[in-house]
C-alpha cells in the first residue's frame, strides 16, 4: 500500500457554512509567517515584530493601548476579565454570550468569577438589560457586578453601533463597572460599521478588548488589547499564569500585523459579510424558510423544517442553533466564494423542493 501523504488527507475544495473557524489560513498570513521565519529573534515578546505590533495597535486603538498576543479566544476572554475584576467580582453578559455558553466554564473555573446572565432576543445588551443584574454592591452574599461583557459582533450575528456601546460604557462606568468586548469577529464589525476600530472601542469608552484572529484567517492567534491600563491591570503576569504566553511570539505578532497591513483583516471580513448578504438575498423569498435575526455581518440564522435541514447538512455542513424550533446557523468566511454561495443556494432550494 502506498504511503499516505499529508496533502491527500482532505479535499482542499471542500466548503462548508458551519463556522468561519473552518476556513484555512489566509495566504498573505502564511507569507508573513514565512517572512518572519529566518534567523533568531528574542523570545517571549522582545522581538521586532511584537514591538511593531505594539506601535500599530496604538495607531489603531489609541496612544494608551497595550497588546498581548495569546493562543485562543477563551484565553483572551478569561485573561481580559480577570484583569478588570477582583476575585469577588462578577461580569454581566447576555445569556447567549460565548463566555457563558461556549467556554466550558473557563471564566468561573480559571478566574473564579461569576457570570451574571441576561436573556436578550438578539444577543445585544442595553443599559436597561444590564440594570437587571447590576445591583447588590456591598452585599456580601452576592458576587459583585463589576464588569459588563459584550460580543461584537454578537453570537446572534447582530451588531452594536458606536452610540450603543457608548451608552453601555457610560452606564457601566457611572456604577464603577469596567467594559469588556469579546471581539472574536471584531474585523467583521469594523467592516460592517465602516468606521475605524477606535471609534467603536476606545472612543466609545471600552476598557479592554479580546481581538479575534483565528476567524479572520490567522493560525491560532488572538490578542487582548487593553484600552484603559488604569482599569485592566496585571496582563503581563496573567498571560503566563494562564498559560497563554507564546515563546516564539514573533510568529503570533506577525500574523496580527498582516491583518492590519493594507487593511487585510477588514477587507477579508467585508468579503465574508458580502457573501452572507448574497446568501440572504438569494433566499429571502424562498417558501419554507425564514430568517430569525438581521444579517449584519457574516452570520445567518434561519428556520426551516428539521428533516430538510438534516438532508441539506448531509451535503453541506452547518450547525443547529435551536433544534427545538428548527433554527440553524450559517456562517460565511474570508474564503467563501460567490460560487460557494450559489451552490449552497441550489442545494437548499432542491431539498425544499422549490
Q: State the DSSP code for 110.
A: H
1: confidence class by pLDDT, cuts 50, 70, 90: low
Nearest CA among 76, 131, 119 for reference residue 99: 76
Give residue 46's pLDDT.
Answer: 97
Q: How far apart are CA 172 and CA 238, in angstroms?
A: 24
Give residue 18's pLDDT.
Answer: 98
* Span 95-145, pLDDT tens digits: 999 999 999 999 999 999 999 999 999 999 999 999 999 999 999 999 999
CATH number belonging to domain 6-22+264-352: 3.90.1150.10
* Span 331-344, pLDDT tens digits: 999 999 999 999 99
- Residues with Cβ within 8 Å of residue 331, at least 6 apart in sequence: 17, 18, 19, 20, 276, 298, 299, 300, 318
Strand partners, 225: 67, 209
Beginning with the edge strand found earlier in the chain, give each strand of the sheet holding 89-94 in spatial order. Answer: 66-70, 222-226, 208-211, 178-183, 144-151, 89-94, 114-118
- Find the radius of gyration of the CA atoms of the chain: 21
Provide CATH 3.40.640.10 ranges for the chain. 27-262
In this structure, of 4-8, 68-72, 104-108, the range with the lowest mean pLDDT score is 4-8
Work out the number of other CB atoms within 10 angstroms of the CB of residue 5.
7
10: confidence class by pLDDT, cuts 50, 70, 90: confident
Work out the number of other CB atoms within 10 angstroms of the CB of residue 204.
22
Is the pLDDT confidence value at 14 over 70?
A: yes
Give residue 9's pLDDT.
Answer: 87
Work out the number of other CB atoms within 10 angstroms of the CB of residue 210.
29
DSSP codes joined into one string, 189-208: HHHHHTS-GGGGTTTTT--E
CATH architecture group of domain 27-262: 3-Layer(aba) Sandwich (3.40)
Give residue 5's pLDDT.
Answer: 66
Q: How far apart are CA 189 and CA 283, in angstroms?
A: 23
Cβ–Cβ under 8 Å, residues 205 and 170: yes
Is the pLDDT confidence value at 8 over 80?
A: no
Provide CATH 3.90.1150.10 ranges for the chain. 6-22+264-352
Amino acid at each position: 500500500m502506498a504511503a499516505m501523504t499529508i496533502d491527500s488527507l482532505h479535499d482542499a475544495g471542500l466548503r462548508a457554512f458551519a463556522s468561519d473557524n473552518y476556513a484555512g489560513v489566509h495566504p498573505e498570513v502564511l507569507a508573513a509567517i514565512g517572512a518572519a521565519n529566518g534567523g533568531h529573534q528574542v523570545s517571549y515578546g522582545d522581538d521586532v515584530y511584537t514591538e511593531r505590533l505594539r506601535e500599530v495597535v496604538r495607531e489603531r486603538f489609541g496612544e494608551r493601548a497595550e497588546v498581548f498576543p495569546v493562543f485562543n479566544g477563551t484565553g483572551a476572554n478569561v485573561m481580559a476579565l480577570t484583569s478588570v475584576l477582583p476575585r469577588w467580582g462578577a461580569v454581566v453578559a447576555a445569556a447567549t454570550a460565548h463566555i457563558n455558553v461556549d467556554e466550558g466554564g473557563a471564566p468561573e473555573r480559571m478566574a473564579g468569577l461569576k457570570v451574571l446572565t441576561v436573556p436578550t432576543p438578539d444577543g445585544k445588551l442595553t443599559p436597561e438589560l444590564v440594570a437587571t443584574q447590576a445591583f447588590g454592591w456591598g452585599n456580601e452574599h452576592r458576587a459583585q457586578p463589576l464588569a459588563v461583557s459584550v460580543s461584537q459582533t454578537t453570537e446572534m450575528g447582530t451588531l452594536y453601533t458606536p452610540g450603543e456601546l457608548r451608552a453601555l460604557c457610560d452606564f457601566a462606568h457611572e456604577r464603577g463597572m469596567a467594559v469588556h468586548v469579546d471581539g472574536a469577529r471584531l474585523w467583521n464589525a469594523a467592516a460592517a460599521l465602516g468606521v475605524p476600530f477606535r471609534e467603536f472601542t476606545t472612543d466609545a469608552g471600552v476598557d479592554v478588548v479580546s481581538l479575534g484572529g483565528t476567524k479572520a484567517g490567522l493560525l491560532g492567534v488572538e490578542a487582548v488589547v487593553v484600552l484603559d491600563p488604569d482599569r485592566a491591570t496585571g496582563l503581563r503576569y496573567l498571560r503566563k499564569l494562564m498559560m497563554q504566553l507564546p515563546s516564539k511570539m514573533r510568529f503570533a505578532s506577525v500574523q496580527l500585523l498582516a491583518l492590519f497591513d493594507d487593511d487585510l483583516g477588514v477587507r477579508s471580513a467585508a468579503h465574508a459579510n458580502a457573501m452572507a448578504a448574497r446568501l440572504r438575498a438569494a433566499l429571502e423569498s424562498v417558501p419554507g424558510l425564514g430568517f430569525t435575526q438581521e444579517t449584519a455581518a457574516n452570520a445567518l440564522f434561519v428556520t426551516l423544517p428539521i428533516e430538510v435541514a438534516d438532508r441539506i447538512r448531509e451535503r453541506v455542513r452547518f450547525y443547529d442553533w435551536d433544534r427545538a424550533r428548527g433554527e440553524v446557523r450559517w456562517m460565511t468566511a474570508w474564503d467563501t466564494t460567490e460560487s460557494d454561495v450559489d451552490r449552497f443556494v441550489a442545494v437548499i432550494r432542491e431539498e425544499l423542493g422549490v
